[in-house]
A and B are shown apart, each in its own frame.
Chain A
Amino acid sequence: MSTSFFEGVLSSAALSGTSILYATVGEVIGERSGIVNLGLEGVMLVGAVIGFVVTAETGNPYVGVLAAALAGATFNMIFAYLVVTRRGNQLASGLALMFFALGLTAIIGKSYVGKPIGGLKDTPIPGLANLPQIGHALFEKDLLVYSVIPVAIAAWLLLYRTSWGLRMRAVGEDKTVAFAAGLKPHRLQYQALFVAGLLGGIGGGHLSIAYTKTWQEGMTAGAGFIAVGLVIFAAWSPIRAILGAVLFGGAVAVQLQLQARGSNVSPFLLDMIPYVVVLVVLMLFGRVKGRVVPAGLKNVFEGTG
């Protein structure tokens, strides 16, 4: 069955958009509590390697996904300790976390490089999967793809319709005021970073368990950084993050399809596309201004944090 260019793009956009969206939604939650985590790149790597290893060892990809989530969350607690308890510089701590993950995952994954796994199977949705053009591309995917948009919506509900979300956002706006109002800022930030770690871990896990079904050293290749960028584009809303993920997924997909179809353009120039697209989009729409920015973040972005 030959697929059209459109179908190919849609299908691979769904896959690459999924993993980035889990990570972006997680980062939105963390940033809403007032913390920017560049270590997300590392969290995703840890999720990818642990998810892969557990899937390979147990043969059950769902256990693998669960392990990826927990590993991401646990790993993110190192970051939480550094920035919340020790008040270390957020951006530098995030990068340190990424370094740590690069080394750690290289050791953990060493004997799994090139090993094949069954991975997460596609579960076609009856009826929808038979739709022309979009059916195969969108409705014959793994369960993580289907659940990512509901997760983004759930995150929005969590942030805006629960008292936990309200308290957490209050901390993100002004820690001191939140504390004076009787909240426990540190505990809330730890919780937010735990949830962010769960989602970042799933994002990484999706890469290795469902998308590539392999483990490679440093396989996230900057996806975590892109997710942090997309949070700005999403104006700190999990719902708008969907748009960001579609955009990034689309850019990756177009590039992959062009390569697969033997385009004359050098593959390395095509490889640049997603990064350049994100850069340009951030330049155009990412202006850090107005009320959308959690006030507690301004210090971080403006270099006084």
Chain B
Amino acid sequence: MSSVVTLSKPFYSRFSRHRDTLLAAGAPIVIALVGFAIVLEAYGKSPIATYRDVLQGTFGSVRGFTEVLVIMIPLMFCALAVAIPARIGMLNVGAEGQLYIGAIFAAYVPLNWPGLRLQFMLPLMTLAGFLGGGLWAGLSGYLRAKGLLSEVLSTLLLNSVAGFGLQYLVFGVWHDPNSSNFPQSKPYPEAAVLPHIGSGRLHIGFMLALAGVALFWFVLQKTRWGYEMRAIGGNPEAARRSGIPISWYIVLLFVIGGGIAGIGGMAETSAIQGRLRPGFSSSYGYIGFLISWMSAHNPVLIVVMSFLLAVITSGRDVLQITQNLPGAAVNILMALILFVVLARRGRKPEET
């Protein structure tokens, strides 16, 4: 994907370039907001009131703002899961499923060894989450590397399979007998709940996600692997000829990406739900895909865009409560942003 070449230059080298990228990323949002306002207007809702409510709900109080940061956590994990393979031109549309499988693997630890101490429990859960998401994505990477199946299709189909798997567990073998009608597992023991920051719902998953972004940036910019990834992303054929093991990279980057989404699933279920439940993700995996594309898979922009999309995602509730619109309507806004980004990037000769 040529847009990958785009970012191979160090984005931090000059302030102006920084500003340009931010502008380039900001304009589509403005255009999309106008487009969405038209849709709202057409449905007899006041766009100004809606936007005001969303802003008030997110920036108007410490609680609301904390909630935005809380939503940012799975979004950053999922965006990384998409961005990492994307740097060599691979499309991971499966962060949603990888999130589920990560959560499932992680849940195995507290549900089977509830007595573990925190210092064993949490690292083990993180590892399990990584393993689950990594294996799930690794399957897609393997099939792609072997030329057996497009990674786009396998990741999409595996999302559905993962979703049913999660439901199977919480309705079946892992169902908590004390919550008769609710499909959910037993609550996790205290040692399996990620520590929270302050008194709200924000948890140290936030730091983990940021650390993931930083590591991604570091590997990309400062290591030989990053150099080789950029080479593959830029010109796979040339990279192959110069002896870079492309198939190996495909599988590895899928495993790492999926593993990161898996940690996201672990963090969300552990810190926010405190047990395994279906529907703990409001399409975070797909929104992560969007974020990664809006950010052109650039680590710093991923953080910025995750924040913005977290604001929009929490707007979902506003649409539902104050405007009486289905929560899914927020997808329109997200799609419009991506439309503008894709339309602009497609036209440009690729060398920004």
Q: Which residues of chain A have a CB within 8 Å of any CB of chain B? A: 38, 78, 81-83, 86-89, 91-93, 95-100, 102-104, 106-107, 110, 217-218, 221-222, 225-226, 228-229, 232, 266, 268-269, 271-272, 275-276, 278-279, 282-283, 286-289, 301-304
Contacts and interface: CB of A to CB of B under 8 A. Distances in A.
A266 B332 contact: no
B147 interface: yes
Nearest to A305: B1
Nearest to A226: B157
Interface string B308-346: 000000000000000001111111111110110011111
Interface stretch (B52-60, B68-76, B130-138, B165-173): B165-173
Contacts of B159: 222
Nearest to B336: A100
B30 interface: no
B137 to A, nearest CB: 14
B160 interface: yes
B116 interface: no
Interface string B192-215: 000000000000000000000000
A103 B343 contact: no
Contacts, number: 152
Nearest to A217: B328
B154 to A, nearest CB: 7
B160 A222 contact: yes
Nearest to A270: B164
A232 B347 contact: no
Contact of B329 (A93, A103, A289): A103
B89 interface: yes
A278 B161 CA distance: 11
A301 B150 contact: yes
Contact of A287 (B148, B158, B346): B148
A275 to B, nearest CB: 5
B168 A99 contact: no
B157 A266 contact: no
A282 B171 contact: no
B230 to A, nearest CB: 14
User: Majority SS of interface residues in chain A?
Assistant: helix
Interface stretch (B13-21, B216-224, B285-293): B285-293
B165 A82 contact: no
Nearest to B36: A103
Contact of A282 (B153, B327, B344): B153
A95 B331 contact: no
A269 B153 contact: no
Contact of B90 (A78, A282, A303): A303
A296 B277 CA distance: 43
B160 A221 contact: yes
Interface of B: 1-3, 39, 43, 88-91, 93, 143, 147-150, 152-154, 156-161, 164-165, 167-168, 171-172, 236, 286, 289-290, 293, 325-336, 338-339, 342-347
Given A91-B152, A103-B328, A301-B150, 9 more contacts: A82-B339, A95-B286, A98-B335, A103-B334, A268-B165, A279-B157, A282-B153, A283-B143, A287-B147
Contacts of A96: 290, 335, 338-339, 342
Contacts of B333: 103
A218 B333 CA distance: 17
Given A92-B338, A107-B325, A282-B149, A269 B347 contact: no
A98 B286 CA distance: 11
A92 B342 contact: yes
A96 B334 CA distance: 8
Nearest to A289: B147
Nearest to A102: B331
Given A86-B347, A89-B342, A218-B328, A99 B150 contact: no
Contacts of B88: 303
Nearest to B250: A303
B1 A99 contact: no
A211 to B, nearest CB: 19
A285 B62 CA distance: 55
A304 B240 CA distance: 14
25 contacts: A38-B152, A82-B346, A86-B344, A91-B152, A93-B339, A95-B286, A95-B289, A95-B338, A96-B338, A103-B329, A110-B325, A110-B326, A217-B326, A222-B159, A225-B156, A226-B157, A268-B164, A272-B161, A272-B165, A275-B158, A275-B164, A278-B157, A282-B153, A287-B148, A288-B150
